[in-house]
Structure 1
């Protein structure tokens, strides 16, 4: 027995205690991956092939990080993002790329998504139409500009006109304020070029067995009415000639025959800055069945100006802006990176790793592609340290340390015996 064995054992046990202590210290560190000290035996160099070598002790061969999945905990921050599966967030520090499992992000004063150390989250940006441009990942920046208004270009309704409605003879002149001059009505919002909302109403008057007249008003005003504020006339042209109704005819099965395509609607308001309004009125799915008048759907594509109200991140990394008018616009997409040998990554501290020759090159792509995991918004990945296991490991390492110290004490006693001879 030599002192070398005990000294190597004490050194290895001390290193193991350091690793265990670091694991325990980071039990509450988001995205932390525990480490494990791995040991190997030591033999003296020898030309002998004898199997009677006792060995020279032990050494720490490596300290390997364990990239197992941590538990996922929910938070109140929509920009807290947890990775469920393989992959790392790709972070940039003025172009210096690092990788992390810590998804605690926020938006800085310039609109960039950053972590607590002001490193930028990278991904793909979206164009003004919300389409992702999947090129080289760049620093993700969320625009907080108001959403521009969009004038209505189409107004679509699926409705049923009651075939049992009697024909008015003679046909009364349409008057939106007189319910006896029409059988049914429905209305919805349309938007002008400045995002102002207007109420567009349709009125249906039966003029024959399978034929109806359709009239329209805007903000309650009929065609030819005078605007109360400006004194200027309001013009509403529904499909045909100005001031004339749009005729709808059905076959014996209650299916619309004419018009067989959307009709143009022109609206001239007293406000010349937003006039005229022009959009397509699509009633091609209208029916005439023997049941009460009903509206099954009412859809138009215009919108008012809106402010950004919040963010959300989908499982595939799409970052969406939610606006006050109910619109949702794609702003960007987070990317993830994976490695053929994650244990070859170099730890930089601060929950960051760097690529090395041992790890291999980063394989970058959108979440849920290839072997990359999915994302969960308003959540973080907890440390994968099992505190109970680490406390047991610490007791074991302490015992190993004490045993190696005892071997040195024993060797000292043997040496003292030899000295005393």
Structure 2
């Protein structure tokens, strides 16, 4: 019997050495969780045996339990490197349409040849679909799908309104010549802004200001050096082009405009010759407030001509410039035209019993009966942790502790080997008795 006891001790010591060695081997494996060998004693007795004199029958390995404590965070320069702080796992599938889901804490993701986000073993990262405002439309694992970064350019938006804030010089003289936009002597001041048509092509829109009388100014508009009509404008250049009239009070405040809505006529194919929408019109918004002066209106003070705000709402064609991933897992594509597009929200998965997960290699696990059912959710919601972009979760192995455990396991192995040797010597002595 003593042989079996010593042999079980050797097996347990070997198992301890194996577990410790595996932990040490994976000290630099991203997302790795250390394991701990757990042992129980063996005690067997018959119904009629005396428990007072019974000796134990050795040791057994009860479990090799993984420890899911948080690993340290290492920051990187890759936006697709992801680390979970707190509870949760990333979900991946081996094929786009596969239902064979694996779970991992290793966030070393990259793009494949089809611009899908994948890990080093080719697993596709799953995410929830999102609405245009970035809110999740569903947080069920069954509705998640592989996350793909678009290769198409951001769609352009044609300019519909230009917001203008400026000061017109109260001391300017009335021009002596009839307005001609090609002659600077026929107008007092001008300013320009870049606008965009429906195809994202840029055009220069220029505004010309001509002092008509004290506290009264006319404004003509041109696109790409071609004058455009402002329907309903009270002033005409004699060639069918109307201008708007801007009026100021004696204190320099903006108090009237004619027409009430200053909007150009359709720009037409003559200006938009590239096939863009010829019906495009542009509102020139001076933020007129008929209830009284406000800080966004133009002014007429005794100072220089100054444009303090000139904004338009159009967008050029945007090129993909980067990917941003928030702590809530929302993946946004950013474009060169200043726009952002929400693409997906990275799915996080939790389990009732993490230690019940089945290890499948590649720092991944699969659901089992012991682990409980996979529960999906958003990062930062409920018990789920947050996601750090440009960061990786390091192995939670403490190398100092493992080296101490390695020495302890070695001593245990030596001690059990010695017990086995003593048992052998005793048996040899008995056999030699005559």
TM-score with structure 2 length normalisation? Answer: 0.84
Structure 1's 236 and 196: CA in aligned 2 closer, same or farther, altered over 3 A? farther
Deviations along 1:114-149, whole A, 9 cap, x unmatched? 222222111123568877543611122222122232
Query: Counterparts of 2:226 and 2:396 in 1: how far apart (Å)?
Result: 69
Query: Counterparts of 1:129 and 1:304 in 2: how far apart (Å)?
Result: 21
Deviations along 1:64-97, whole A, 9 cap, x unmatched? 1111222222334322222222211111132211
The count of residues paired between Structure 1 and Structure 2 equals: 407
Selected match of 2:109 from 105, 111, 117: 105
Query: Counterparts of 2:343 and 2:172 in 1: how far apart (Å)?
Result: 54
Query: Counterparts of 1:253 and 1:396 in 2: how far apart (Å)?
Result: 91
8 A contact 2:210–2:217 mirrored in 1:
yes
1:350 paired residue number: 362
1:191 paired residue number: 196
Q: How does 1:73-84 map to 2 (within 5 A)?
A: 73-84=74-85
Structure 1 residue 349: Cα displacement: 0.8
8 A contact 2:230–2:244 mirrored in 1:
no
8 A contact 1:167–1:209 mirrored in 2:
no
Query: Counterparts of 1:259 and 1:368 in 2: how far apart (Å)?
Result: 52
2:292 paired residue number: none
Deviations along 1:263-291, whole A, 9 cap, x unmatched? 32333352453323213332202242746
**Matching of residue 237 in structure 1 with residue 230 in structure 2:** yes
1:288 paired residue number: 299
Selected match of 1:403 from 408, 415, 426: 415
1:230 paired residue number: none
Structure 1 residue 179: Cα displacement: 4.6
Selected match of 2:148 from 141, 151, 161: 141
Structure 1 residue 177: Cα displacement: 4.6
2:167 paired residue number: 161
Q: Helix, strand or coil: the match of 1:411?
A: helix
Of residues 365-374 and 75-84 in structure 1, the stretch that sits farther from structure 2 once superposed is: 75-84
Structure 1 residue ranges without an equivalent (≥5): 224-234
Structure 1's 168 and 254: CA in aligned 2 closer, same or farther, altered over 3 A? closer
Structure 1 residue 15: Cα displacement: 0.7
Structure 1 residue 251: Cα displacement: 5.1
Q: How does 1:7-18 map to 2 (within 5 A)?
A: 7-18=7-18
Query: Counterparts of 1:370 and 1:128 in 2: how far apart (Å)?
Result: 24
1:25 paired residue number: 25
Selected match of 1:327 from 333, 339, 352: 339
Structure 1's 384 and 288: CA in aligned 2 closer, same or farther, altered over 3 A? same
Deviations along 1:168-211, whole A, 9 cap, x unmatched? 34776444455555454432211011211011222334445544
Query: Counterparts of 2:6 and 2:250 in 1: how far apart (Å)?
Result: 102
Query: Counterparts of 1:97 and 1:363 in 2: how far apart (Å)?
Result: 13
1:228 paired residue number: none
Query: Counterparts of 1:292 and 1:300 in 2: how far apart (Å)?
Result: 24
Query: Counterparts of 2:341 and 2:136 in 1: how far apart (Å)?
Result: 11
Q: Helix, strand or coil: the match of 1:18?
A: helix
Q: Helix, strand or coil: the match of 1:237?
A: coil
Structure 2 residue ranges without an equivalent (≥5): 235-239, 288-295
Bigger strand fraction: 1
Structure 1's 418 and 153: CA in aligned 2 closer, same or farther, altered over 3 A? same
Structure 1 residue 239: Cα displacement: 6.7
Query: Counterparts of 1:308 and 1:200 in 2: how far apart (Å)?
Result: 27
**Matching of residue 278 in structure 1 with residue 284 in structure 2:** no
Q: RMSD of the TM alignment (CA)? A: 2.9
8 A contact 1:202–1:215 mirrored in 2:
yes
TM-score with structure 1 length normalisation? Answer: 0.86
Structure 1's 61 and 263: CA in aligned 2 closer, same or farther, altered over 3 A? farther
8 A contact 1:311–1:321 mirrored in 2:
yes
8 A contact 1:81–1:378 mirrored in 2:
yes
Structure 1 residue 303: Cα displacement: 1.8
Query: Counterparts of 2:279 and 2:431 in 1: how far apart (Å)?
Result: 113
